[in-house]
Amino acid sequence: MNFPDILQSFLWTAITVACYLAGLGLRRLARNHVLANPALIAMILVAVLLLATHTAYAVYFRATWVLTFLLAPATVALGIPLAKNFAHVRQSMSGVILGLVAGSLTSIVSGVLLVRWLGGNKELALSMLPKAVTTPIAMSVSGQIGGVPALTAVLAVLGGIIGALTFRTVFGLLRISHGHAIGLAAGTAGSGLAASQAAEMGDGPAAFAAIGIGLNGLLTALVAPLAASIFK
Amino acid sequence: MTPPSRKPGKKTGRMVVSGLIGLFILLALVFVGGDARKAFHLSLPGPVIGLVLLAAGFLLAERFHTRSHRQLKLHVAPVSRLLVSQMGLLFVPAGAGIITEGDALRHEWLPIVAAVVGSTLIGLVATGWLMHRFAPKLQLAKI
């Protein structure tokens, strides 16, 4: 690596961190509203900066490799909250397994079918397929089955925002009041964003939200290649 | 947040060292996961295999080996909490790649919006309803 490369790496990584910090600040200003998602705000700011400075995306992506590199250990790190809350799974084994499998499969199938019915292409359908899962797992699954990881990242964040915005209303209408069910559903269908909202409801919902994130990540990574080959 | 201490510098130093040990363990699991994926022809991404190994290791240590469980909680848990809570930062570079997909977004906004909203709601209802129906009702009063 020569000097300008190092400088460019440092510069773009620092800019990305600054954009994320701006996102965190905006979220605080918006009193933690789910729409003020720091990652989404940072992505938009970075995109605007890249377009404004006529920087090729490939150059930026190579320069910020450190951040992308850390996604892999961050994914492994999800094992800790899963393990810490795993005792709860044993208490309600049938509910967790049924709920998880049903939620995972319906969201995979409905995502792909809705895209295809409304005229979206195959690449979009495959990028949509793993979007319910926590973003880093969704991205690597997407790349593996022929989707576009960047598109999946945005779809995953959008899905999380939709889940976080709607889950209280949806469960209120359906009279689903069991805190564990709400937590598991938020973690399974809305990944980290909806889960963090559900976690505010108490320890039970928080534990089951962590279980939903971890186990649905695992389940979707297992069934995605099969599902993708069926839809092809 | 940190309790008053006579040598705050020493404490920060210990936290950094412990964080680095934790990060090293997480990275080792990333590579073990990647190798296991290749060796056994698994369809799971390497980091997801690492996740399973870490969770399994944590549960086994909790049950059978108190000392390594304490070590995991001391070194791996704090850095894990940091990485998980600020994970959003780490996928900004990948997500910004959306600018190369501008045409797709303009032409396919309808299937994108409909599928994201529709399938998220369907997944929420499916999981929530089944869990509500089949989970033990004992804890209901507490929540």
Q: Are residues A224 and A186 in the same domain?
A: yes
Per-residue b/e over B64-76, b at no fewer than 16 CB within 10 Å?
Answer: eeeeebebbeebb
Give the pLDDT of residue A2: 55
Residue numbers in A near B33 (CB within 8 A): 76
pLDDT at B3: 55
Does position B142 have pLDDT exceeding 70, yes or no? Answer: no
Looking at residue A218, what is its pLDDT?
Answer: 92
Supply the pLDDT for residue B124.
Answer: 93
State the pLDDT at residue A184: 92
ipTM: 0.87
Among A19, A51, A71, residue at a domain's last position:
A71
Domain C-terminal end among A49, A71, A93:
A71
- Number of C-beta neighbours around residue A32 at 10 A: 11
Residues A57 and A88 in one domain: no
Mark whether A103 and A163 lie in a shared domain. yes
- The domain in which residue A111 lies consists of 79-231
Q: pLDDT class for B106, splitting at 50, 70, 90?
A: confident
**3-state helix, strand and coil shares in percent for chain A, rounded to the nearest 5:** 85, 0, 15
Tell whether A52 and A85 lie within a shared domain.
no
A35/A92 same-domain check: no
Q: Closest approach of chain B CAs to the CA of A64, in angstroms?
A: 7
pLDDT band at B143 (very low <50, low <70, confident <90, very high): very low
Model confidence pLDDT, tens digit, residues A58-111: 899 999 999 989 988 988 988 888 888 888 888 888 889 999 999 999 999 999
Taking the C-alpha atoms of residue A63 and residue A14, their distance in angstroms, rounded to an integer, is 10
Residues A38 and A90 in one domain: no
Distance CA(A68)–CA(A12), nearest Å, equals 13
Residue A91: predicted pLDDT? 82
Q: How many CB pairs under 8 A join A and B?
A: 366
Interfacial A residues in 211-230 facing B (CB < 8 Å): 212, 214, 217-218, 221-222, 224-225
Set of chain A residues whose Cβ sits within 8 Å of the Cβ of B103: none
DSSP states along A167-214: HHHHHHHTT---HHHHHHHHHHHHHHHHHHHHHTT-HHHHHHHHHHHH
3-state secondary structure of A86: helix
How many whole angstroms separate alpha carbon B117 and alpha carbon B130? 20
A192/A89 same-domain check: yes
In this structure, are A99 and A157 located in the same domain?
yes
Q: Nearest Cα to B89, choosing from A213, A129, A14?
A: A14
Number of domains observed in the structure of chain A: 2
Which residue numbers in chain A have pLDDT < 70? 1-3, 232
Six-digit token pair at A152? Answer: 């999946």
Q: Which of B108, B127, B143 sits opposite A185 (nearest CB)?
A: B127
In the prediction, which pLDDT does A9 show? 92
Q: Is the domain of A100 the same as that of A169?
A: yes
Q: Give the separation between CA A79 and CA A110, rounded to whole angstroms.
A: 28
What's the pLDDT at B6? 54
For residue A168, what are the CA distances in angstroms to A178, B83, B104?
12, 28, 32
Residue A218 to residue B121, Cβ atoms within 8 A: no
- Tell me if the pTM is above 0.80: yes
| Nearest residue to A183 via CA among A202, A209, A161 | A209
- pLDDT of res. A1: 47
Are A129 and A60 members of one domain? no
Both A46 and A93 in one domain: the answer is: no
Tens digits of per-residue pLDDT, B34-88?
999 899 988 888 888 999 999 999 999 988 888 888 888 888 899 988 888 888 8
One domain for residues A166 and A93: yes
Contacts of B126 in chain A (CB under 8 A): 99, 102-103, 106-107, 189
Do A70 and A189 form a contact (C-beta atoms < 8 A)?
A: no
Query: What confidence category does residue B4 fall into, taking pLDDT thresholds of 50, 70 and 90?
Result: low
Domain stops at, among A71, A100, A127: A71
Q: How many residues would you count in chain B?
A: 143
